């Protein structure tokens, strides 16, 4: 689970060439531009990650005017996040005391900004299920039963986490301990695509199920359901496919697609409670005629976060994209299945993480 606001230590302070009023602080694996002289190495601070939405009073005290925290570039330095003094914490929490790594998102009222509207619960509330009609027969138990049995058609329902974990990847900047442990492992890296998360599968009876990141979709006219239904005859029953749906009106359609398409990035086997390895996924997508998220190559994992960020910088390799379309980043997974990492940073306990391209974030004002 992502800690949007947490207690962290300033690991390093570095001067920025040509800058008199600002300097670069390193927190975890993030670089943050801060006011010169405000902090020193070893200081405890409140660190806010990018995508954080600040409550109005805290934003005013911090002099923050944007809707949410974005990646910015100052004097050639990418700044990601914000450092605040411990004094911004509620008095009761300061008196109680805090420790490095402690999550204080709730105490500060920090929430996450969703760039994909289908991940936002407010969107689903606006597109909620059909309201109960104000009809005479609804006064009777048999009338309500008949309405629910034969007329009621819900648009969506909860995501079935009892079958498959939701799609999510942790950013590399908070995984220094993992990089140290698995340094030298052979890993595959794929392009992270900027679309909308989709999960879909055929159950044992051959019924198609389709989900966004947070909801199961029952409306067969929904564009996600209709797109997934075109692939139904290629799916292995009970295997659960997860990917990115791209196309018109999705994240600005950066890839220039004229119609919707799904790029699969993982497949979950519920009976075995495991994911396909990268090579298994590539083989099965090729065999079954399914499109996979672009595979960029394999390498020996380094424990240097800055080197991995440099790897993430580059153009998308999708054929339909424009010449200046930066890729969102990369997703890294060992070619040999590694699981058992049940520390809330890894979905399903599997070793897998993302590295976001800072040029992409700056270009698209994210």
* Residue 4 DSSP one-character state: S
Q: Tens of pLDDT along 79-114?
A: 999 999 999 999 999 999 999 999 999 999 999 998
Percent of the chain with pLDDT over 90: 77
Asked whether residue 123 carries a pLDDT value surpassing 80, the answer given is no
Query: Domain ranges in the chain?
Result: 5-112, 118-153, 170-363
Q: Is the pLDDT of residue 341 over 90?
A: no
Residue 342 banded pLDDT, cuts 50, 70, 90: confident
Neighbours of 310 (CB within 10 A): 13
Residue 330 reports pLDDT greater than 80 = yes
pLDDT at 143 over 80: no
Judge whether 244 and 293 are in contact, CB under 8 Å.
yes
Residues β-bridged to residue 298: 188
Cα R_g (the chain), whole angstroms: 23
Q: What is the per-residue pLDDT across 262-291, written as a single tens digit (0 to 9) for each?
A: 999 999 999 999 999 999 999 999 999 999
pLDDT at 294 over 90: yes
What's residue 120's pLDDT?
Answer: 62
Neighbours of 34 (CB within 10 A): 18
Same fold, 5-112 and 170-363: no
Statement: residue 331 has pLDDT above 80: yes
283-290: long-range pairs with CB below 8 Å, 24+: 284/236, 288/234, 288/235, 288/236, 289/234, 290/231, 290/234, 290/241, 290/262, 290/264
Does domain 170-363 fall under CATH 3.30.470.30? My reply is yes
Taking alpha carbons only, the member of 210, 204, 107 closest to residue 156 is: 210
Q: Lowest mean pLDDT: which of 8-12, 118-122, 345-349?
A: 118-122
CATH 2.30.110 fits 5-112, yes or no: no
* Tokens 């050639």 sit on residue: 76
Task: Give the model's pLDDT for residue 339.
Answer: 84
Q: Please list the residues that pair with 31 across neighbouring strands.
A: 26
Reduced to 3 states, what is the DSSP secondary structure of residue 107?
Answer: helix
Do residues 217 and 271 touch, judged by C-beta distance below 8 A? no
Structure tokens at 343: 């520390």
**What is the reported pLDDT for 366?**
87
CA–CA distance, 238 with 107 (Å, rounded to integer): 42
Q: Decide: helix, strand or coil at residue 123.
A: helix
**Residue 30 dihedral angles phi and psi, to the nearest 5°:** -95, 150
Compute the average pLDDT of residues 179-200: 96
Give the confidence band of 125 by pLDDT, cuts at 50, 70, 90.
low
Structure tokens at 200: 């879909």
């Amino acid at each position: 689970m992502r800690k949007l606001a947490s207690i962290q230590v300033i690991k390093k302070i570095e001067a920025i060439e040509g800058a008199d009023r600002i300097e670069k602080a390193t927190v975890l694996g993030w670089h943050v531009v801060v006011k010169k002289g405000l902090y020193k190495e070893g200081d405890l601070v409140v660190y806010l990650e990018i995508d954080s939405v600040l409550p109005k009073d805290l934003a005013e005290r911090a002099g923050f005017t944007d809707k949410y925290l974005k990646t910015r570039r100052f004097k050639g330095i990418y700044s990601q996040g914000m450092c605040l003094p411990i004094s911004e914490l509620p008095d009761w929490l300061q008196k109680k005391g805090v420790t490095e790594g402690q999550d204080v998102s709730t105490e500060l009222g920090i929430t996450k900004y969703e760039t994909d509207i289908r991940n936002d619960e407010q969107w689903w509330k606006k597109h909620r299920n059909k309201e109960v009609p104000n009809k005479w027969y609804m006064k009777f138990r048999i009338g309500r039963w008949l309405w629910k049995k034969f007329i009621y058609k819900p648009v969506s329902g909860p995501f079935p986490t009892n079958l498959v974990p939701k799609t999510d990847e942790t950013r590399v900047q908070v995984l220094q301990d993992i990089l140290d442990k698995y340094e030298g492992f052979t890993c595959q890296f794929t392009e992270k695509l900027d679309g909308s998360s989709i999960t879909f599968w055929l159950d044992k009876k051959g019924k198609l199920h389709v989900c966004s990141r947070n909801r199961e979709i029952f409306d067969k006219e929904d564009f996600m359901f209709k797109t997934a239904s075109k692939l139904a005859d290629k799916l292995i029953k009970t295997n659960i496919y997860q990917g990115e749906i791209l196309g018109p009106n999705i994240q600005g359609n950066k890839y220039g697609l004229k119609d919707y398409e799904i790029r699969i990035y993982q497949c979950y086997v519920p009976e075995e409670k495991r994911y396909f390895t990268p090579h298994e996924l590539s083989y099965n997508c090729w065999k079954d005629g399914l499109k996979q998220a672009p595979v960029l190559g394999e390498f020996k994992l380094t424990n240097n976060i800055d080197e991995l960020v440099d790897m993430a910088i580059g153009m998308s390799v999708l054929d339909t994209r424009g010449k200046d379309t930066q890729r969102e980043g990369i997703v890294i997974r060992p070619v040999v299945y590694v699981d058992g990492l049940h520390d809330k940073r890894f979905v399903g306990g599997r070793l897998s993480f993302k590295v976001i391209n800072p040029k992409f974030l700056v270009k698209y004002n994210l």
